[in-house]
Amino acid sequence: MKRQSHITGFYLETLMLIVVFIAIILVLTQIFGLAQMQSVKAKQLTDAVVLAGNAAEAVSASKTADELLALLNENDNAFPMQDAAGVTARYDGDLLPERDGGYRVDVTWLPEETGTGTMVGSVVEVHCGETAEPVFRLETKAFRPEVSG
């Protein structure tokens, strides 16, 4: 009889240990799943910052919206915006220009005449996929002095 209670106790302890291990495995699986989702979001944000910085540099190097389109257009990936002055460009996951890429960069061209030249404001929004909310938004301005000739 004593031996039977030891065996029953062993089975109960083993069962409890298995339940604890299963609970730990489930918790760790959820933690790793959440970490993977955070990693994807961090990569999207990093890519968006790089693309927005590149677009801002193109704005500062352009004198007109047409020059901006020419600078951003590689591999036929950029188009004039339909509802505003500016450019929409698309890039793939490796940040290479691609017509149907997953990243969409919208760059508005907002010139303001001043007494000594033109201040070109620009809003750069980077979208991942077809989301309405941008992953990253950057506002920038560049001054274009008047050229007397």
Structure confidence by residue, pLDDT tens digits, 37-55: 999 999 999 999 999 999 9
- Digit-coded pLDDT (tens) for 5-26: 778 888 999 999 999 999 999 9
Q: Which of 20-34, 62-76, 109-123 is the most confident on average?
A: 20-34
Confidence bin at 123 (pLDDT 50/70/90): very high
CA distances from 138 to 9, 13, 17, 67, 101 (A): 65, 59, 54, 20, 20
Q: Would you place residue 147 in the very low, low, confident or very high pLDDT band (cuts 50, 70, 90)?
A: low
Return all residues near 141 (Cβ < 8 A) that are at least 6 apart.
119, 120, 121, 122
pTM: 0.78
